[in-house]
Structure 1
């Protein structure tokens, strides 16, 4: 559906050339919700804007539905962009126009008939839950309602792709959840491919199928959201995940440990089994749970536990071997996670 090949985007500044996107390659499947996460300056927004050529890449290729966008002339690009909707953090609604008129704007630009415009706008406002606000002005709306109008406007010309640039960053947590739920519903009901830029791992966890982590213009880690949460490889990825699955331990617990402190990751159905209980009953050891949590990512359980295992060295080794045979990740460490 979307393929980015060796994409580079450079900018000229007073200090010389700054590389915003540095040789990035990605594949995003049709109907997928793909998250791109990184801190400010990582290059994620520049990458997103290259997907519809709001930013023209310095080099590299962008394919959407097997069409290479950088090879199109202006007329062809305008036509291709009709199938790529985009929403932003700050909504960008026209304050002097009603909700109906804001959504209708793109349809008028596409020269749709008055009947087509009316039918389409009313249908879209029904989808985003704003049918009763069609005659309201942006100043009369909450932040969440404004973003719903922006989503309806982005869907006006029946796009195949929806690009979301920090679409929930200006919203409170409750409204963010509602907007993410709406995006997920649109994805499922309309079969839309969604590319979502964020600096919040909670957003990725909530609705994304896959995620790419960006740092200094590069993609440093990529995979399904579940696998990235279960087994992050890069320090930055671990830092993002730690904002949700925080497992730091007080120094006094480390200083006063009597046995071995281990971190165990249970993936899938194993997270709902009694493996730790079985271990404690099978071997002559004691276990002290220091931290633990089960998260559900795409309804699949992911359990992470930190515990102290106390007993004779040989029994501890036998117990840890028992665990290792049943889980994919077991880490023995002496410092706080």
Structure 2
């Protein structure tokens, strides 16, 4: 659906050149929700704006549904853009126009008759759950409702692609979830390809099929969303994952524990198996769960548990070896402090 080849965008000024996008290549499939995540300044919004040539790339290729957008003359490019909807963090609504008029704007620009504009606008407002707000003005709406109007407007011309630039960043967590559910429903019902730019890994976890991580204008890692969460390779990706999956163990708890504290990551079916209980039966150790959580990403389980293991050092060693053979990730957060105390006293 969307193919980007060796894309570069350099911003020139009198004093310097700033690289916004650095040699990026991506393929986004028909009907998927593709996330691009990165911190501010990573180049993700610039990349998104290059996808519909709101920013003209310095070099490279952009294909949407087989059409080379950069090869189109201005008039044909404007026509091609009608198949690409876009929503923004700041909503970009006309405050002096009603909700209905805001949604109908793109239809009017496309030359659609008044009657058909009316029918299509009411259909879209029903789709986004705002049938009763058609005569109101943006100032009378909540942030979530404004974003729903923006989504309805972006769908007016039956686009094949929807580009979302930080579409939930200005919203509270509950409203964010409702907007993400709406986008997922639109994706399912209309078969729309959605590209979602965000700096929040929680957003990616909720609805994205695949994800790319950007840093300094480059794609540093990309994969299916579940795979990125289960087995991140890049240090920045791991940092993003920690904002969603990790939790801090209080220092007081560390002080109270005398055994070996280990953090374990369970992926897929292993998150539903009795690996820990089997471990406690097989080896002469005792286990105390300190913390844990299971998330479901793309309907597959991913769990992280922190556990204190107590027992003879050799049994602990064997148990850790067994965990490392069975799990995606095992990290010892604190070694057996009782053993260390005895060793220190011997010296």
TM-score with structure 1 setting the length: 0.94
1:124 Cα shift? 0.5
User: How do residues 125-164 of structure 1 correspond to structure 2 at under 5 angstroms?
Assistant: 125-164=125-164
Contact kept, 8 Å, 2:106 with 2:156, in 1: the verdict is yes
Partner of 2:109: 109
Deviates most, 269-278 or 192-201: 269-278
User: How do residues 170-319 of structure 1 correspond to structure 2 at under 5 angstroms?
Assistant: 170-251=170-251, 258-319=258-319
Query: 3-state SS of the aligned residue for 1:136?
Result: coil
Partner of 1:20: 20
Deviations 1:8-41 (A, max 9, x none): 1110135410001111111111111111111111
Deviates most, 186-195 or 313-322: 313-322
Q: Residue 324 in 1 paired to residue 324 in 2?
A: yes
Contact kept, 8 Å, 2:231 with 2:328, in 1: the verdict is no
Deviations 1:257-291 (A, max 9, x none): 64443321111121122110110111111223233
1:208 Cα shift? 0.9
Deviates most, 290-299 or 251-260: 251-260
Give the length in aligned residue pairs: 335
1:106 Cα shift? 0.6
Deviations 1:110-162 (A, max 9, x none): 11122221211111011011111111111221111111111011000000000
Query: 3-state SS of the aligned residue for 2:310?
Result: strand
Deviates most, 247-256 or 193-202: 247-256
1:73 Cα shift? 1.0
Partner of 1:52: 52
Q: Distance in 2 between matches of 1:250 and 1:234?
A: 27
Contact kept, 8 Å, 2:230 with 2:328, in 1: the verdict is no
Gaps of 5+ in 1: none
Q: Distance in 1 between matches of 2:230 and 2:120?
A: 42
Cα 1:252–1:141 change in 2 (3 A) is closer
Deviations 1:83-123 (A, max 9, x none): 00000011111112111111111111111122221211111
Query: 3-state SS of the aligned residue for 2:244?
Result: coil
TM-score with structure 2 setting the length: 0.92
Q: Distance in 1 between matches of 2:130 and 2:39?
A: 33
Cα 1:327–1:246 change in 2 (3 A) is closer
Query: 3-state SS of the aligned residue for 1:150?
Result: helix
Q: Distance in 2 between matches of 1:251 and 1:179?
A: 37
1:173 Cα shift? 1.4
Partner of 1:8: 8
1:210 Cα shift? 1.1
Gaps of 5+ in 2: 336-347
